[in-house]
Copies of this chain bind each other. A is one copy, B any other.
Amino acid sequence: KELKPLKIKKPLILVKDVETKPAIVASISESVESVAKKIVENNINHVPIVDKNNKLRGIVTSWDIANAVAEGTKKLEEIMTKRVITAKENEPIDVAARRMDKYNISGLPVVDKDNRVIGIVTAEDISRIIGREKK
């Protein structure tokens, strides 16, 4: 009897297993300086912008702050990205990793079905999985 190639099933890691929750967020009326302070104080790079119902309206990252410095702009609305690429809690983490790669971004706000921000998952969170895997 012929041997079938062995299929190795790795445990499926989901977005909710590695996300940071809750996410530090900001409102669209905040200043660039205020968001920069949140980034520094919380040691993060990604700040989802939400409305008063916690629905996602945009994202500002430390890269956008660098952009504000490079351009000499001052308003949050001018530097924030409005079409935000997101993830869902029950998605496999490799799907989220491919999405980041595709759009050349390093973090995805995690949203519920009503587009409310639950958490955030970053390339750093995913990189950590490689660090903890046994060879």
Once the chains bind, are B40 and A70 in contact (CB under 8 Å)?
yes
A133 to B126, CA, bound (A): 13
A67 to B43, CA, bound (A): 10
Please tell me the number of chain A residues within 8 Å of chain B, measured between CB atoms.
Answer: 45
| A81 interface residue per 8 A CB criterion | no
Among A36, A37, A61, A124, find the residue whose CB has the most chain B CB atoms closer than 10 A: A124
Once the chains bind, are B131 and A97 in contact (CB under 8 Å)?
yes
A32 to B94, CA, bound (A): 36
30 contacts between A and B (CB under 8 A): A6-B6, A9-B135, A10-B135, A37-B70, A39-B63, A39-B70, A40-B71, A43-B104, A45-B45, A45-B62, A62-B65, A62-B66, A65-B69, A92-B135, A93-B130, A94-B131, A94-B135, A97-B128, A98-B131, A100-B127, A100-B131, A101-B124, A106-B106, A122-B123, A123-B123, A123-B126, A126-B126, A126-B130, A127-B127, A129-B130
